[in-house]
Amino acid sequence: MTELDLLRKAVHDKGFNISMMINTYKKKQVDRKTTYKVPESVFCDVCKEYLKSGDNIDKSFPYFMKVLVMKAQESCANNSKKQAGANKFGKMPDNIKAIMRGM
């Protein structure tokens, strides 16, 4: 069993059908034709958040969707930042510096 399966079971035991919510979110992603896939670690983080504050939540579905969207956006932003950092150039070549000074 994966970590996500264990967390899903724990959330189900608290009385919230998180599997249905995850599937609903994935279907919405397909409908919106999103270009990124939400990693399993994001779903694990959302389950942990729910387990942490599950008793204080009045409406589970809106809370779950809000946390999931925020975590997914954060994950996507972090991945973009990593890719941008990997594609950075070191310093500007001397011949381009000379051209830029002449302008």
The per-residue pLDDT for range 84-103, each reduced to its tens digit, is 776 666 666 677 777 878 66
The per-residue pLDDT for range 14-30, each reduced to its tens digit, is 888 888 888 888 888 88
**Domain spans of the chain?**
3-102
Alpha-carbon distance values, 93 to 87, 89, 97, 101 (Å): 16, 10, 6, 13
- Please state, for a pLDDT cut of 70, what percent of the chain lies above it: 87
Threshold 0.85, pTM exceeds: no
The per-residue pLDDT for range 36-64, each reduced to its tens digit, is 788 888 889 888 888 887 667 777 778 78
